[in-house]
Structure 1
Amino acid sequence: MTIEAVLFDYSGTLFRLEEDDWWVDHLVAADGRAFDVHEKAEILRRMTAPVEQLVQFGTEGQYAWDNRDLDPKLHRQAYMAVLRKSGVPTDDQADFLYRRLIDPMSWTPYPDAEEVLTLLAAQGIQVAVISNIAFDIRPAFSSRNWDRYVDAFALSFEIGAMKPDPRIFAATLDKLGVEPEAALMIGDSAEADGGATALGCRFALVHPLPTQERPTGLLDALREHGLSRYQ
Structure 2
Amino acid sequence: MKQQKPKVIFFDAVGTLFGVKEGVGKTYAKIAKKNNVDTDPDVLEKAFRAAFKRSRPPIFPGVDSFQIPEKEFQWWEAIARDTFTEAGVIDQFEDFSGFFTQLYAHFATPDPWFVFQDVMPSIKSWHKQGIELGLVSNFDSRLFAIVELLDMKQYFSSITISSVVGAAKPDSKMFLSALDKHNCLPSQAWHIGDSELEDYDGATKIGMKAFLLERSPEQRFPYSRQY
Q: TM-score, normalised by structure 2?
A: 0.71
Q: How far apart are residue 174 of structure 1 and its match? A: 2.2
Shift of 1:185: 1.0
Once the two structures are overlaid, the 10-residue window that deviates more, 89-98 or 199-208, is 89-98
Counterpart of 1:153, as a letter, is I
Q: Secondary structure at the match of 1:204?
A: strand
Q: Deviations over 1:111-140 (max 9, x none)?
A: 222112101112222211011133132222
Q: Secondary structure at the match of 2:191?
A: strand
CA contact (8 A) 1:68 1:75 kept: yes
How far the C-alpha of 1:38 sits from its partner, in A, is 1.9
Offset of residue 69 of structure 1: 4.0
Aligned residue pairs: how many? 197
Match of 2:17 among 2, 5, 14: 14
- Distance of 2:31 and 2:142 partners within structure 1: 25
Residues 119-162 of structure 1 deviation map (CA, whole Å, 9 limit, x = unaligned): 11122222110111331322223234422211211122223332
Residues 100 and 204 of structure 1, relative CA distance in 2, 3 Å threshold: same
Q: Could you list the structure 1 runs, at least 4 aligned residues long, displaced by more than 6 angstroms after superposition.
A: none
One-letter code aligned to 1:68: P
108, 125, 128: which one aligns with 1:119: 125
Q: Could you say which residue in structure 2 is the equivalent of 1:36? A: 40
TM-score, normalised by the number of residues in structure 1: 0.70
Corresponding position of 1:129: 135
Cα deviation, 1:30-84, whole Å, max 9, x if unaligned, reads 9x7743342243356468x6xxx24xxxxxxxxxx43524433333333222222
Q: Which amino acid aligns with 2:58?
A: R
Alignment partner of 2:164 out of 132, 148, 158: 158
Q: Residue 58 of structure 2 aligns with which residue?
A: 68
How far 1:205 sits from its partner (Å)? Answer: 1.8
Query: Is the 2:15–2:215 contact (alpha carbons within 8 Å) kept by the matching residues of 1?
Result: yes
Partner of 1:206: 213
2:188 aligned residue: 182
Which segments of 5 or more consecutive residues in structure 1 lack a partner in the other structure? 55-64, 215-231
Give 1:179 deviation, angstroms. Answer: 2.0
**Deviations for 1:165-187, whole angstroms, at most 9, x for unmatched residues?**
21221121122232212222111
State how 1:211-226 maps to structure 2 within 5 Å: none
